[in-house]
Amino acid sequence: MDKNVSELVSQLRELVGKQRAYGQAAGVMYYDAATAAPRGGAADRGKTLAVLSEVSYELETGETTGNLLHALDAVKEQLDFVTRREVSEMLRSYERTKKIPKEEYIAYTVLINDADAVWHKAKEESDWASFEPYMEKIVEFNRKLACWLAPEKKPYDALLDEYERGLTMEKCDAFFAILKERLVPLIHQITEKGIQPDDSFIHLDYPIEQQRKLSDWLMNAIGIDREYCSIGETEHPFTNGFSKHDVRITTHYHLNDPLSSLFSVVHEGGHALYELHVSDELQDTTIGGGVSMGIHECQSRFFENIIGRSRGFIHNLLPELQTLFPEQMKGVTEELLYRVANVAKPSLIRTEADELTYALHIIIRYELEKQLIEGSLAVSELPTAWNERVKAYLGLNVPDDRHGVLQDSHWSGGSIGYFPSYALGSAYGAQLLTEMRKTMDFDAVVASGDLKPIRDWLTERVWSKGSLYDPQEVFEQAAGAAFDPTYYTDYLTRKYSELYQL
């Protein structure tokens, strides 16, 4: 590396340091808003976020940044592998974000801050009308965003690509068609003939204070180092991370449904483990986090379902539950807990859905988003359309918008095109499981209570790589093959046929 190149790299490091600082400041404010801030502070926070986002925009798209990145790109043969990837990813962001007018970029930051506050209240009060004008603006912005970013594409394709590079409606349609074809008959079979376990014990009172202790146990059980990961409480569980030394998960406790928080902690814990195990050499770079939402949801759904809802995990979980909740768990056998944790039954809330019906929740959102973005569905029609689809796919009546269109935090958070990655990630996980089983007695490892071999496998094949490769490359490197959704449908068919003796 000649002297000039090394000078450029040190300018890059300084720029990245600044970008990361503004990213962390805004990220902490977001986390704080969801966990601790009083509700009335939203408007003032918006002013601060506007100031920070203007600087972030400038750092990402400014002339100095463009010149530096182009200069580095011109000498990329002299850069090490990590820096070369970092430069190419930053150039990509530079080109991308530059297409968004600065004023729109800042205004959207403020809008999302306000929308989030309004959504919290709207959800609490099941008051769609108060949220609707914000959703109007969010949809409008996303349609413009699609045009700015990729005018040559169909708008919703441009948005899908934001969350999972390379994902398109064509791919989604094919994927969801297979899921529908294979899973809907299975769900019908269970609804008609399946004998459901007696889950009355799970609706007793489970004091929150004890549920908090359970969260500690769960985080420990899946191998999260608490020195670098904390847990908070929010309306909607999420994970965010600022580096491998500072990751946060959140959960929401329900007095009469301990499984809700339990599986959300394991789910968010999967996200956290990914961020916590990115290679040290990627720290302080812009490519030191998980590569995409699809790969991220693969980790979270793998931990939540493939591990968390397995016989082996339940085997280790039961004694802990019995210690924390002796009265409530009296007489509950391993088999009963396993069956209750795996009840397949159409339900209203996505985050609490079982593995089998989960995909239907995603399909509902995917179809609605497509329509919203292509303009065939008005935002004002969204609650009705939501309820109709829930009736059609899940056979349920939605009692109120809190249990319907207002349930998720993604839209109020500005994310349209995110949901498909949940289903994709779930399917990725089933294929990785097959690959993992080739060299590991997976069930025995889970039953042993020490998940280190699984963490090591995922660290080597996925987690350590951060954003060094494109999502599809990461997946194929890990799976040793191209993506094939039948691993997922086979996994679900096998699991639920056994569970319901079909």
**Catalytic residue annotation:** 268
Choose which of 32, 173, 450, 460 interacts with its own copies (CB under 8 A). 32
Alpha-carbon distances of 272 from 211, 247, 289, 290, rounded to whole Å? 20, 6, 10, 10
Rounded to an integer, what distance in angstroms lies between the CA atom of residue 139 and that of residue 152?
19
Structure tokens at 276: 């916590």
Q: Which is nearer to its own copies, 39 or 438 (CB)?
A: 39
Q: Which is nearer to its own copies, 35 or 78 (CB)?
A: 35
Choose which of 18, 144, 154, 403 interacts with its own copies (CB under 8 A). 18
Q: Which is nearer to its own copies, 226 or 391 (CB)?
A: 226
Minimum CB distance to its own copies, residue 217 (Å): 18
Q: Which is nearer to its own copies, 3 or 39 (CB)?
A: 39
Rounded to an integer, what distance in angstroms lies between the CA atom of residue 162 and that of residue 294?
11
Minimum CB distance to its own copies, residue 13 (Å): 11
Could you count the other beta carbons within 10 Å of the beta carbon of residue 478? 22
Position 62 contacts its own copies (CB under 8 A): no
Choose which of 201, 217, 228, 469 interacts with its own copies (CB under 8 A). 228
Q: Would you say 412 and 118 are in contact if contact means Cβ atoms under 8 Å apart?
A: yes
Segment interacting with its own copies, rule: CB under 8 A, options 37-45, 69-77, 155-163, 377-385:
37-45
Within 8 A by CB and 6+ apart from 244, the residues are 228, 275, 276, 277, 278, 280, 283, 288
Q: Which is nearer to its own copies, 46 or 197 (CB)?
A: 46
Q: Would you say 231 and 248 are in contact if contact means Cβ atoms under 8 Å apart?
A: yes
Query: Pattern 174-213, binding to its own copies, x per CB under 8 A?
Result: ---------------------------------xxx----
Minimum CB distance to its own copies, residue 452 (Å): 20
The closest alpha carbon to 134, from 421, 406, 417, belongs to 406
Query: Pattern 113-132, binding to its own copies, x per CB under 8 A?
Result: --------------------
* Chain residues 278-297 in contact with its own copies, contact rule CB under 8 A: 284
127, with CB counted inside 10 A (0-12, 13-18, 19+), is middle
Q: Is 127 helix (H, G, I), strand (E, B) or coil?
A: coil
Q: Which is nearer to its own copies, 112 or 430 (CB)?
A: 112
The closest alpha carbon to 244, from 269, 275, 284, 287, belongs to 275
DSSP track, 163-189: HSTT--HHHHHHHHHHHHHHHHHHHHH
Could you count the other beta carbons within 10 Å of the beta carbon of residue 74? 11
Within 8 A by CB and 6+ apart from 415, the residues are 163
Segment interacting with its own copies, rule: CB under 8 A, options 20-28, 365-373, 395-403, 425-433:
20-28
Position 444 contacts its own copies (CB under 8 A): no
The closest alpha carbon to 431, from 479, 394, 392, belongs to 479
Rounded to an integer, what distance in angstroms lies between the CA atom of residue 73 and that of residue 88?
7
Backbone phi, then psi, for 140, in 5-degree steps?
A: -60, -45
Minimum CB distance to its own copies, residue 105 (Å): 16
Position 227 contacts its own copies (CB under 8 A): yes
Segment interacting with its own copies, rule: CB under 8 A, options 23-31, 413-421, 438-446, 479-487:
23-31
Q: Which is nearer to its own copies, 44 or 443 (CB)?
A: 44
Q: Which is nearer to its own copies, 15 or 158 (CB)?
A: 15
Minimum CB distance to its own copies, residue 182 (Å): 41
Minimum CB distance to its own copies, residue 20 (Å): 7
If you compute the radius of gyration of the chain from its CA atoms, what whole number of angstroms results? 23
Choose which of 7, 44, 80, 181 interacts with its own copies (CB under 8 A). 44
* Binding positions for its own copies, rule: CB under 8 A: 17-18, 20-22, 24-26, 28-29, 31-32, 35-41, 43-45, 47-48, 50-52, 207-209, 225-230, 232, 242-243, 245-248, 284
